[in-house]
Copies of this chain bind each other. A is one copy, B any other.
Amino acid sequence: MLVLGIDPGSNHTGWAVLSQVAGRYVLHDAGVLRAKAGQDLALRLVFIHAGLLELIGRYQPDQVAIEAIFKHRSAESALRLGHARGVALLAAASHDLPIGEYNPMTVKRTVGGHGAAGKAEIQRLVQRLLGADRPLPQDAADAAAIAITHLAQSRFQALAKAAR
C-alpha cells in the first residue's frame, strides 16, 4: 500500500509518499510545495491543489493521510489552515482516495516522540525510522510522520482484525 502523507499549510505544504515492506517504512519520495511568498491566498490554493493533483497522478497512492483538526489553534490560524486543508481533502476525495486523519498527538507518539515534541525532534525521529542519511525538510518530515502513522494504524487494524 502506497500512502501519500500531507501536512497542509497555506504557504508550505509538505508531502511524502511511503509504503511499508516487511515491517519497515520505505520512503518513495517527499518534498514541500512552496507557494510564492506574498501571493494572494486564492492563488496559493490553486498552486497547492494543482501540486497535490500532480503528485497523485505521478505516484498513484492507494490512500492519503492528513493531520486532523487542531482544536487549540487561534481562530485566525485555524481558518487559514482550514483553507489549505480543504484543498488537500478535495484533491484526495476527487480521486476517490480513502483519507486517514490523525491528530498531532497520535502522530508524535507513533514516531516515538512525546506530546510536546517539536518539529526538529519529529524530523530526527522520522529520519531514524526511515534509516535515511539526511533529514527531510521539516514540512516533508511532518508529512512522512503522518504517512507512517497511517501505515502503523492500518497495520495495527489489520492485525487486530486477523486476531479476532
Whether a CB of chain B sits under 8 angstroms from the CB of A43 is: yes
Q: Residues 44-82 of chain A: 1 if any B CB is under 8 Å from the residue's CB, otherwise 0?
A: 011001000000000000000000011111111011111
* Given A45-B89, A49-B90, A93-B42, A76 contacting B69 (CB threshold 8 A): yes
Expressed in whole angstroms, the Cα–Cα distance for A85 and B42 within the complex equals: 10
Expressed in whole angstroms, the Cα–Cα distance for A41 and B87 within the complex equals: 11
Whether a CB of chain B sits under 8 angstroms from the CB of A141 is: no
The number of residues on chain A lying at the interface, defined by a beta carbon within 8 Å of a beta carbon of chain B, is 31
Whether a CB of chain B sits under 8 angstroms from the CB of A86 is: yes
Expressed in whole angstroms, the Cα–Cα distance for A43 and B85 within the complex equals: 13
A82: contacting residue among B40, B43, B71, B79, CB under 8 A = B79
Residues of B within 8 A of A40 (CB): 93, 99
A70: contacting residue among B41, B75, B84, B86, CB under 8 A = B75
Residues of B within 8 A of A75 (CB): 70-75, 78
Residues of B within 8 A of A45 (CB): 86, 89-90, 93
Q: Which residues from chain A sit less than 8 Å from chain B, CB to CB?
A: 40-43, 45-46, 49, 69-76, 78-87, 89-90, 92-94, 99
Q: Could you jot down 13 A-B contacts, CB within 8 Å?
A: A40-B99, A42-B92, A42-B99, A43-B93, A46-B93, A69-B76, A76-B78, A78-B82, A79-B82, A82-B85, A86-B87, A87-B87, A87-B90
